[in-house]
Amino acid sequence: MDIFTAVVRHLLLIVVLLIHVPVFQAIIWSPASNVLLAGSKSHVTYIDSVSAGVQKAVQECQHQFKWDKWNCPEASVFTNTQANREMSFVQAIASAGVMYSLVKNCSLGAFDDCGCDHRRNGDTGGEGWTWGGCSDNVRFGDRLATDIMDDSENSQGAITVMNLHNNEAGRKAVKQTVMKTCKCHGVSGSCSLQTCWNHVANFRTIGDEIKRKYFKAVRVDFVSGKLIDGNRPEDRITHAVISDSLNHRDLVFLDQSPDYCRANLTIGITGTAGRECMLREDVTASSSSPSSPLSVSLNKDSTSPASFRWVKQSCSRLCRSCGMEIRKTQVVITSSCNCNFVWCCQVKCDTCRRTVTRRTCQPIGSML
């Protein structure tokens, strides 16, 4: 298949995805689209990985902001061109998603020009262990994701410089969370020697890391073609360029966020009216129910979307702080239960019903 045929094939694939799969509308927004459609033709090889990375990024964004005023609605992600704190997260998580997908597919042998990172295999890593196995080729993913995400930023404007910085911050989050896994060797499982290799963390871990960066994001100004720290006046003695004043792991943004309490369809903001929230007793009941996703996802990180503290404060954050009341309703949920295997070869289940409390934000006095 010549390069022209390959380009046409992948352009048709993009059109089909945009028409039939809403989440792939993210390619319209994603900086990677400019490269895939108009950049280096060598990047066409990686279009499936880039698309998967963008999809993973959108899903992770919606998970991370599930209990926030801005909950990463697709309309906001795809149409919002503001350079605010939320868009800095979107930029970073997209860059991380593309890099993550490229690294994983590289290790799986999906690319002819990439494979496991064996550079340190055989070297002693520490007492009782050596490098071996198939380490993820993080350098390959970092380099290629940089080419794909950054090459499309072809202007010298403020938003471009901000995007390039946040692209790097997203990739650094992938590298910061790389994990080491070891396999034991020895007589009768004595584990007297271990072979270890590196791999990228689960993308949820990477998303949590970028969400922490979001809370610490720094507001900057654009002066004479460079970003300067505009968020910490007590530290600002002189206007220093970003490489001197800010860590490249930080997220940066230029504009204050809009009011996410109220709908603004022009920039894809739906407001918090009708949004579900939880109080302490709801979180406690949900986390103790085996069928609830919260039962396995709550953790101690106070800023994580799955933390007990963050979820139980959601009604205050989404409703009360937006001048709305909390409306309580009872909802009957039907699900399969008491399933048993019947020889041969069926699974029979009972139908169970349980009543749960749902709380939503509603304008005060609303009859909805």
pTM, full prediction: 0.80
Domains of the chain, each with CATH number or no CATH: 3-267 (no CATH), 276-363 (3.30.2460.20)
Using one digit for the tens of pLDDT, what is the confidence trace for 306-317?
Answer: 577 888 899 999
Which has the minimum average pLDDT: 162-166, 250-254, 294-298? 294-298
Using one digit for the tens of pLDDT, what is the confidence trace for 126-161?
Answer: 888 999 999 999 999 999 999 988 876 767 788 999
| CA angle, residues 155, 158, 164, in degrees to nearest 5 | 70
At 367 the three-state DSSP class reads coil
CA distances, 234 to each of 23, 227, 231, 241, 294 (Å): 42, 17, 9, 17, 41
Using one digit for the tens of pLDDT, what is the confidence trace for 185-215?
Answer: 877 767 888 999 999 999 999 999 999 999 9
Task: Quote the tokens at residue 114.
Answer: 């990439």
